[in-house]
Structure 1
Amino acid sequence: MNQINWGIIGCGDVTEVKSGPAFSKAPHSQLVAVMRRDGEKAADYAHRHGVPAWYTDADALINDPNVNAVYVATPPDSHADYAIRAMQAGKPVYVEKPMALNAAECAAMNQVSRETGMPLFVAFYRRALPYFLRVKELIDNKAIGDIRVVNVQLNWPPDDRETVAGRGWRVSPDVSGGGLFHDLVSHQFDLLAFMLGPIQSASGIARNQAGLYAADDMVVASFAFESGVVGTGSWCFTVNKEQRLEQTQLIGSQGKITFSFFENFVITVDTAAGTETLTVPFPEHVQQPLIELIVNELRGGPKSPSTGETGARASQILDWITV
């Protein structure tokens, strides 16, 4: 392919700034069609973003001859269905995270990718963001020696949308595959594997403590990497605002790196020489660096760092911990 013409299935909130505009800002790439079941919302999105075509039917978008790659940005319960349909129609697919409801669905998607020869990518865009690449560079350059332990902490207050009354899909297990743990922590496990190598085992305890919705709201876990590094994590989504905390620490033989997956742009490196603070801001459209790498691969360039195979591993870890 010379020019990548994208169609989006599910042009909701995530596509407004994080991803949608990036498809037309990336070189040799253009957003040419969008689909949403609500025709009024699909037309409005197309008008606001300068997209020439809009649909209310996914198959109509998939079969649009002007579309030669598809971005699936619906909730996870339809990721496998839409991605498989698009690949069987001969279109490469970029799918939102988590990749699907569970590891079994991910495996089915990857099988179709192999059978059709259509590339499959997952929106674990942190693999291409300068902030996280800086953390990986510190690890690779042994800024804190050999990594021994990973500690992940996330304590957030509940969002008004993510309650029984709010009916947020992220806390409906039949739609999201789990709760906020599945939605957010998939990013963390994927990136940790990118930086430290594959995670070979994980186990945990998941509980619904506050009863705000059907999904778990508290998870604790331990996990081990093939490299010998071990990790622990705790995630609670029902603390008060004063207890809000989100940080990850990498403990090495000669120091410690502290960074954030979601909250800020600061990286702190503590060694015997002192404390160094690095600030690396995110770009306006956080998915654009990864989208550019995917476009380059589809045009015959190097492989993207986030594929269906790597995305499936994150879902497998979630299953190990919560199923």
Structure 2
Amino acid sequence: MTDTIRWGIIGCGDVTEVKSGPALQKAEGSELVAVMRRNGALAEDYARRHQVPRWYDQAEALIHDPEVNAVYVATPPAFHREYALMAARAGKAVYVEKPMAMNHDECLEMIEACEAAHVPLYVAYYRRGLPRFNQIKQLLDSGAIGDVRLVQTTQLQTLRPADGQAVPWRLQPELSGGGLFVDLASHTLDILDYLLGPLGQVKGFAVNQSRQYRVEDLVTTTYAFESGVIGMGAWCFNAYKRQDLNEIIGSKGKLSFSTFGDDLRIELADGGVQQFTVANPAHIQQPLIQLMVNELRGDGKCPSTGRTAARTSRVMDDLIRDFY
């Protein structure tokens, strides 16, 4: 790979406006040189506003642009496999949004294609690069709460109103692979994998209680990490309020944090309490993007790969398969 990683974005929608697009421009050794959207006028507008040299309305044209040596697929999951395979065949490094694909089988196909083409495959589980979650990992690894015994996750949201407008793609299973569980819980399941290792056996239920959309709106699970730690989780998207809480319980204390907020707290057996504040960067994907760029330039390893992300897709498949 050359000294400068020159990115092209397929699908320059909302997620690329602040979270990722500017991060590709600001990371050291990284440039954003082309964007693509099926609506050419929107692609041109994005390129103009973000000072990107070229824009396209065809993915093939962007992928085969000789100035592009890494492709970021920022479309809904229904298109991740297609574009990842196309980029791999062109010999370009691949970065896809999360969840990695529509299901675990597609993830495996993407991994095999990239490995056969000898190109890296990364996934936008960007919490693996954020300072707050790396502080959590350091606390756990240092034994701050002793030996980990149990993990509990509760995520609640109120029901999104059906306001007569078009149903968001995240609530269309043919585009997203599921509902908000797939979109949001994937972040929690992935960061738990990062903090505590891979999950093994998973059991649970997925139901649609509100009947407002065609997707699951409540998922519960119990699971076992390969390490022997046990976990349980509940994700309810038709509740009375919003809540975002993960609790990791150990032999000496408890570590509590949110997936989407910025809180981090430790309670110890002796009554001691520690509260931490670790701010997120302005462009939240930038730390992970920097790790990817560094690896592509021959320095270090990125912690979010196709293989790590596929584990999260396998867990979600296990939990929602019977529903669909």
What band does the TM-score fall into relative to the shorter chain?
Answer: over 0.9
Match of 1:127 in 2: 128
Equivalences, count = 319
2:265 to 251, 268, 273: 268
Match of 1:171 in 2: 171
Query: What secondary structure, in the 3-state scheme, does the structure 2 residue paired with 1:23 have?
Result: helix
Deviation of the 1:163 alpha carbon: 7.1
Give 5+ residue unaligned stretches, structure 2.
Answer: none
Match of 1:218 in 2: 218
TM-score normalised by structure 2 residue count: 0.97
Query: What secondary structure, in the 3-state scheme, does the structure 1 residue paired with 2:99 have?
Result: coil
Match of 1:297 in 2: 295
Match of 1:284 in 2: 282
Contact 1:171 1:215 (8 Å CA) reproduced: yes
Match of 1:117 in 2: 118
Deviation of the 1:166 alpha carbon: 3.6
Give the 5 Å matches for 1:1-323: 1-160=2-161, 165-240=165-240, 243-262=241-260, 264-271=261-268, 272-323=270-321
Percent identical: 52
| Distance in structure 2 (CA, Å) of the matches to 1:287 and 1:202 | 29
| Distance in structure 2 (CA, Å) of the matches to 1:314 and 1:79 | 16
Contact 1:199 1:223 (8 Å CA) reproduced: yes
CA deviation string 1:56-113 (max 9, x = no partner): 0000000001101000000000000001000100100000000000000000000001
Contact 1:163 1:171 (8 Å CA) reproduced: no
Contact 1:219 1:236 (8 Å CA) reproduced: yes
Give 5+ residue unaligned stretches, structure 1.
Answer: none
TM-score normalised by structure 1 residue count: 0.97
| Distance in structure 2 (CA, Å) of the matches to 1:36 and 1:258 | 40
| Distance in structure 2 (CA, Å) of the matches to 1:290 and 1:55 | 26
Q: CA RMSD in A?
A: 1.1
Query: What secondary structure, in the 3-state scheme, does the structure 2 residue paired with 1:235 have?
Result: strand
| Distance in structure 1 (CA, Å) of the matches to 2:187 and 2:150 | 19
Contact 1:164 1:213 (8 Å CA) reproduced: no
| Distance in structure 2 (CA, Å) of the matches to 1:212 and 1:40 | 34
Contact 1:179 1:216 (8 Å CA) reproduced: yes
Query: What secondary structure, in the 3-state scheme, does the structure 2 residue paired with 1:234 have?
Result: strand
| Distance in structure 2 (CA, Å) of the matches to 1:166 and 1:151 | 35
| Distance in structure 1 (CA, Å) of the matches to 2:176 and 2:315 | 15
Runs of 4 or more, structure 1, over 6 Å off, are: none
Query: What secondary structure, in the 3-state scheme, does the structure 2 residue paired with 1:247 have?
Result: strand
Query: What secondary structure, in the 3-state scheme, does the structure 2 residue paired with 1:293 have?
Result: helix
| Distance in structure 1 (CA, Å) of the matches to 2:48 and 2:165 | 32
| Distance in structure 1 (CA, Å) of the matches to 2:115 and 2:276 | 41
Deviation of the 1:45 alpha carbon: 0.5
